[in-house]
Structure 1
Amino acid sequence: MSEVLFILGGRPVTLAEALAAASVAVAGLLLALLLAAWRQSRARAVADAQEAMRAQELERRLRDLARIQAETSGRVQSMGEVLAHRQGELARAVAERLDATSHRLGESMSSAARATHESLARLAERLAMVEQAEKSLSDLSSQVISLRQTLANKQARGAFGQARMEAIVSDGLPRDSFAFQYTLAGGRRPDCAVFLPGDPRPLLIDAKFPLESVTLFREATTAEVRKTAGQRLRADLLKHVGDVAERYLVPGETQDIALVFVPSESVFGEIHEHFDAVVQEAFRRRVVLVSPSLLMLAIQVVQAIAKDARMRAQADRIRAEVGALVEDVARLRERVGDLGRHFAQAGDDVAKVLVSADKIARRGTRLEQLEFEAIPPAEPPTPPAPANDERPAAE
């Protein structure tokens, strides 16, 4: 055993040491093999456990998948039933809507047909009205042509202005307040004379007007022609205003102003718009240009003045009538007072009658129920009311 087998690193190794080292090596190898086997078995067990767990998980998932599939099948079936039901309802709703739409469409077509018929009937009526209007326009155009012809003629135009002025004056004033073609002391004859109350001097109105110049001025196509027509119109207006002021403003015989009647509102507007200097010159010469509306206003003023004069003339009579009216009102007040006192006396008598009726009703009730009590002493009779309030009404 102590035999040296070999020398290792300068140290001799004996048989016993070699055997011991070999046994240790074998033991370590066995231990390593056992440890490897244990580890392998443990790994196999873990793998088996994991495999079992995976199998269980797979089985659980398969069961869940089967359950989900079953639920999905049920849901799909229920959804199919719901969809079939909804499809039936949709088909029914579509059919109802189609029926309603068809009915409404039929009614709409019927109403549209009726409306179209009515519209055509109204259109026919309007066409008839248009034909009548066209006929009226034709008549109006002929009347306008005749009016233009009338206005083109100086004498006819004067008669037209005279007629309009006479219509306005005669419609607004009483017959004794004006006179047409009145003759002045000098032999001049104005177209109209209006008499103011309390003043013997008449207000004179001239109905003639130079309309040719106005027509030329309004129908001028160029500035040069318009200027020439304006100069002519200004000269004609000033001449006519001068003639009226010279003929119809007679001191002591006529009023201090005279009126020139312009028979057209548009012509009156043209003059005031473009010939203000002529209008101011006419004012300075106490000649006033008036349109139909202004003449109506002047006639209304004259009518108000005449009415005021008549009121002043009748002032004494009105005062006497008012005094008589005051006396009648006082007499009415006295009679109403008497009537009130009579009503008060009658009210007192009615109240006494109601008291007696209540007593009679109570006695009748007691007699009906056989309830008697001691008879109270009789009341003294009430003296009659004095009749001095009743007196005949004074006339």
Structure 2
Amino acid sequence: MDQLLPIFSAPLAQLGNSTITVGHALVGGAAVLVLLLAGLAIALWRSARARTLAAAEAAEHARAAEARMAEITRAQSEMQGRMATIADVFGARQGELNKAISDRLDSMTGRLGQSMSEQARATHESLSKLQERLAVIDTAQGNIQSLAGQVVQLQQILANKQTRGAFGQSRMEAIIADGLPSSAYEFQATLSNGNRPDCLVRMPNDAPSLVIDAKFPLESWNAIRAAADAESPDAEKQATQAFRRDIDVHIKAIADRYFIQGETQDTAFMFVPSESIFAEIHENFEALVQRAHRARIVIVSPSLLMLSIQVIQAVLKDARMREQAHLIQGEVVRLMEDVGRLDDRVRKLQAHFSQANRDIDMILTSTEKVTKRGQKIEALELGTVEGEGESRGVSQVAETKSGSLRLRVVEGDD
């Protein structure tokens, strides 16, 4: 030991004023070795602890992974159950939709059939009424053609023969009967005052009737002719005065008897049965003619009476044609009303068909949407994404008001 002391005390290095010996070096080395061993032990302890922590963390991760796998398995089972529920709900809703569509189509078909039946019945009634109106129009047209085809036959005016029986009432009646229909005149009609004119011509449009008197004083005229033939101026003068008196009395009698306000015209005809007598009166008895005009009495010859009757006949014909025209016009108005109602009913039927087409288009649109939604559900793909939150999966199945189904996928972290 003593031998080793000099070795330990032998100088090894010089650092400034300090001398480092072998012993110092050995002590320092031992200290360094101790420090190294301590550091190695600490490192080994830390390594063992790290391995322990890593193992614990690995076990924790394994347990978390198992829990996540169990959650995924549970979610998958739950999703399969929900998918089965969705399929059942979709099948039930599809059945209900098919039933509703079938009921709607049946109801629409029934309404369309009933509407078409009603429209067909209304159309048949309108056509029947139309045929009746057309028949009435054909009848009225036939009457107009018959009236237009009538030709008034005029009698030849007799020569100025002066034999009795060729004048007066019979000639006037022949002219009236030849020129007017039987319903337009009446012989020996009784007026409201009890007088009976020779002829009463009924005017159209409820106008007062026209009085024709044929009581010409033929005897006085024959007396004038007889005096003229006898070449007796005094007798002829007396006969002329008597003729003026008789005509004047006759004019006054016509005015007093046959002028009734509202029943007869304020003008009357005094019939002269010969053209020669008529000419003689206008040539030689101008005062009588003027007196008759002032009394609103027209002296007419057979030709003038015939002309007057033709005018009256034309007025009556025009009135009848106007009545027929009004009848046709009324029928045409009613025909146009029927045609208007037929047009309204056809337009209503067209509107029903248009509404039915729109309803069918809406139904087809709804079925197309349902089919597309079913295809989307059928083509739905499910997957997982790793993360730090909850697992990805189906979290909600929502049902809309329109009857379609919608899936909402929520993404989350593991």
| Larger helix share, 1 or 2 | 1
Q: TM-score, normalised by structure 1?
A: 0.40
Q: Which structure has more RCO (C-alpha within 8 Å, separation ≥ 6)?
A: 2
Q: TM-score, normalised by structure 2?
A: 0.39
